[in-house]
């Protein structure tokens, strides 16, 4: 029997359109599919709690699919290079196939692994399984990476279809001898004592099949009205693809193809517009992934280094109030509680809560990024850091410093009927719409009627919007003047 190949799954937990899987299966050689829980290699950031929950279920789903193809999934834990070496010794494998990652720590590690493999006469092949295009192929006319989104996206659109998706192989040969595997339970990825994952279980079903179903559901329900609907947090107007994309349960090429196909079938210009608007959001993911490749320090360092001098406020109480959804601003609190409960937050509200942290509270964006990293099921190093830097004003193509979201107006504009706030902040649900987003302005009689005692049953605002806005403008303004 020929020597097997190792198929190394990372953040590509799917069978369809998986280039490394397709290539490994196509060799006709036996394949050892493996997932390595690597929390110890240099620079690897430990997974957040919500991500660990998702990973457990996504791996369970992947294991089913891989077994069905014919070769069971092997689970191992430890530094990836040593684990792979060990597996090669056990199985006599002639090489390793994988799909690429683009964060600095993964690139360092994978480059070293590839060199070691090739140095010892083995095969090491990597593929693009998570981007429309490889980051090094999208360049300006002068050969530099794009740092502004719109021209970046135009350049991608000019390339047309990002390419065919891979066929799912019908089978994968197993090695002669079974390979030892950890069990998922060995890894204790799920929370116990306490089990806080009830809200996640209610909302999500990780795995490739669900990702495909969810995409179709989105096409059939929310996409036609995406232009407006995606901004209403109380409605199901967004695609909910983010965690599936992060773990590679679906590829952006599949989303591109299916969305284009959907729009063509409709033969309506409105459908085409909606499809373009949605793919543009996929474009922002692509943009952040490319930026992370070109600027490895994105997660740690201000892109605009003038911000290194910004007088961030160190306030543990304010940070905790923000984290727990007790700021006294209903739209902010609703978002933070949705995040805590479900591991996800509506995009519109992410902007509001992020702006509130870095501008109203002037707390460093990295403290917000840390919290999101731990609580989001879609936590992604590139998207998370890129978007936080964008809100803070120090990132690529960033929001101007004077753009400060008004949490009252945002609530009134995008949660007009109060459905979102009433769901997540039930203690003020009986307030009429008029005061729902600013309970402190409600007449005393109304508050009493609604069973609300501000500062007791629901917090008073921890900062005054107008004053906090002015302080932020002054601080950002000073930064500009000091540096120029």
Looking at beta carbons only, is 44 or 409 nearer to DNA? 409
Q: Are strands 95-99 and 74-77 parallel, antiparallel or unpaired?
A: unpaired
Region of 67-75, 103-111, 407-415, 454-462 interacting with DNA (CB under 7 A)? 407-415
The candidate with the shortest Cα–Cα distance to 153, out of 282, 310, 66, is: 282
Q: Are 6 and 87 in contact (CB under 8 A)?
A: yes
Looking at beta carbons only, is 109 or 348 nearer to DNA? 348
Residue 236 as a binder of DNA (CB under 7 A): the answer is: no
* Catalytic residue list contains 365: yes
Q: Are 73 and 35 in contact (CB under 8 A)?
A: yes
Residue 397 as a binder of DNA (CB under 7 A): the answer is: yes
- Candidate residues 27, 64, 67, 147; the one interacting with DNA per rule CB under 7 A: 147
In the DSSP assignment, the letter for residue 458 is B
Looking at beta carbons only, is 76 or 350 nearer to DNA? 350
- Candidate residues 404, 425, 436, 450; the one interacting with DNA per rule CB under 7 A: 404
Residue 403 as a binder of DNA (CB under 7 A): the answer is: yes
Region of 78-86, 363-371, 453-461, 466-474 interacting with DNA (CB under 7 A)? 466-474
**Whole-number minimum distance, CB 152 to DNA, in Å?**
6
**Whole-number minimum distance, CB 380 to DNA, in Å?**
13
Query: How many residues at the interface with DNA, by CB under 7 A?
Result: 39
Residue 150 as a binder of DNA (CB under 7 A): the answer is: yes
**Whole-number minimum distance, CB 391 to DNA, in Å?**
7
Q: Largest Cα–Cα distance of the chain, in whole Å?
A: 83
Looking at beta carbons only, is 24 or 331 nearer to DNA? 331
Strands, E assignment, 38-166: 74-77, 95-99, 123-127
Looking at beta carbons only, is 154 or 324 nearer to DNA? 154
Q: How far apart are CA 348 and CA 334, in angstroms?
A: 12
Beta bridge partners of 225: none
* Catalytic residue list contains 39: no
Preceding omega of 155 cis (within 30 degrees of 0): no
* Catalytic residue list contains 312: yes
Residue 432 as a binder of DNA (CB under 7 A): the answer is: no
Residue 484 as a binder of DNA (CB under 7 A): the answer is: yes
Q: Which residue in the list 153, 262, 284, 390 is annotated as catalytic?
A: 284
Residue 406 as a binder of DNA (CB under 7 A): the answer is: yes
* Catalytic residue list contains 388: yes
Residues 271-290 that bind DNA (CB under 7 A): 281, 284
* Secondary-structure percent of the chain, ordered helix, strand, coil, rounded to 5: 55, 5, 40
Q: How far apart are CA 53 and CA 39, in angstroms?
A: 15
Contacts of 219 (CB under 8 A, 6+ apart): 258, 259, 262
Q: What is the CA radius of gyration of the chain?
A: 24
- Candidate residues 68, 136, 261, 402; the one interacting with DNA per rule CB under 7 A: 402
**Whole-number minimum distance, CB 346 to DNA, in Å?**
11
36, containing H or E segment: strand 31-37
Sort 307 into a burial class: Cβ within 10 Å, 0-12 / 13-18 / 19+.
buried
Q: Are 131 and 19 in contact (CB under 8 A)?
A: no
Residue 152 as a binder of DNA (CB under 7 A): the answer is: yes
* Catalytic residue list contains 267: no
Residue 434 as a binder of DNA (CB under 7 A): the answer is: no
**Whole-number minimum distance, CB 471 to DNA, in Å?**
13
The candidate with the shortest Cα–Cα distance to 290, out of 416, 399, 155, 136, is: 136
Signed CA dihedral, 298, 300, 306, 312: sign only: positive
**Whole-number minimum distance, CB 484 to DNA, in Å?**
5
- Candidate residues 77, 133, 260, 413; the one interacting with DNA per rule CB under 7 A: 413
Looking at beta carbons only, is 201 or 403 nearer to DNA? 403
* Catalytic residue list contains 347: yes
In the DSSP assignment, the letter for residue 255 is H
The candidate with the shortest Cα–Cα distance to 469, out of 397, 407, 387, 394, is: 407
Q: Which residue in the list 388, 390, 406, 424 is annotated as catalytic?
A: 388
Q: Which residue in the list 53, 262, 340, 365 is annotated as catalytic?
A: 365
Q: How far apart are CA 52 and CA 377, in angstroms?
A: 8
Residues 342-381 that bind DNA (CB under 7 A): 347-348, 351
Spatial strand order of the sheet with 123-127 comes to 74-77, 31-37, 5-9, 95-99, 123-127
Q: Which residues contact DNA by CB under 7 A? A: 140-142, 144, 146-152, 154-155, 231, 281, 284, 347-348, 351, 387, 390, 397, 399-400, 402-406, 409-410, 413, 465-466, 469, 473, 477, 480, 484
Active site residues: 281, 284, 312, 347, 365, 388
């Amino acid at each position: 029997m020929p020597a097997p190949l190792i198929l190394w799954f990372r953040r590509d937990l799917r069978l369809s359109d998986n280039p490394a899987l397709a290539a490994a299966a196509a060799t006709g050689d036996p394949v050892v599919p493996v997932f390595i829980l690597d929390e110890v290699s240099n620079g690897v950031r430990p997974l957040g709690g919500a991500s660990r929950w998702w990973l457990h279920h996504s791996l369970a789903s992947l294991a089913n699919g891989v077994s069905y193809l014919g070769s069971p999934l092997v689970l191992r834990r430890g530094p990836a290079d040593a684990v792979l070496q060990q597996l090669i010794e056990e199985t006599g494998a002639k090489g390793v196939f994988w799909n690429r990652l683009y964060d600095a720590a993964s690139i360092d590690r994978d480059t070293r692994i590839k060199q070691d493999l090739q140095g010892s006469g083995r095969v090491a092949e990597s593929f693009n399984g998570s981007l429309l295009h490889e980051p090094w192929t999208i360049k300006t006319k002068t050969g530099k990476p794009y740092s502004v989104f719109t021209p970046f996206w135009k350049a991608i659109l000019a390339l047309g279809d990002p390419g065919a998706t891979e066929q799912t192989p019908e089978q994968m040969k197993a090695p002669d001898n079974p390979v030892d595997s950890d069990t998922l339970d060995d890894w204790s990825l799920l929370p116990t004592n306490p089990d806080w994952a009830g809200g996640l279980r209610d909302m999500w079903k990780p795995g490739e099949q669900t990702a495909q179903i969810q995409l179709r559901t989105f096409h059939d329900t929310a996409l036609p009205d995406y232009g407006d609907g995606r901004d209403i947090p109380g409605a199901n107007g967004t695609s909910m693809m983010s965690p599936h994309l992060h773990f590679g349960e679906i590829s952006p090429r599949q989303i591109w193809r299916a969305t284009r196909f959907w729009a063509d079938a409709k033969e309506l210009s409105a459908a085409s517009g909606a499809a373009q608007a949605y793919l543009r959001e996929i474009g922002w993911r692509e943009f952040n992934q490319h930026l992370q490749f070109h600027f490895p320090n994105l997660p740690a360092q201000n892109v605009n280094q003038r911000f290194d001098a910004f007088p961030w406020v160190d306030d543990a109480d304010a940070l905790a109030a923000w984290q727990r959804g007790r700021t006294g601003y209903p739209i902010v609190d609703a978002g933070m509680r949705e995040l805590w409960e479900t591991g996800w937050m509506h995009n519109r509200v992410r902007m509001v809560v992020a702006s509130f942290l870095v501008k109203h509270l002037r707390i460093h964006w990295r403290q917000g990024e840390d919290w999101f990293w731990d609580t989001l099921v879609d936590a992604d190093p590139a998207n998370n850091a890129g978007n936080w830097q964008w809100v803070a004003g120090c990132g690529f193509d960033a929001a101007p410093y004077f753009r400060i979201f008004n949490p009252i107006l945002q609530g009134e504009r995008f949660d007009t009927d109060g459905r979102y706030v009433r769901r997540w902040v039930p203690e003020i649900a009986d307030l009429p719409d008029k005061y729902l987003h600013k309970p402190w302005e409600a007449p005393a009689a109304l508050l009493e009627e609604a069973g609300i005692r501000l500062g007791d049953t629901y917090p008073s605002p921890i900062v005054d919007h107008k004053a906090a806005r002015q302080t932020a403008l002054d601080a950002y303004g000073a930064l500009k003047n000091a540096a120029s």
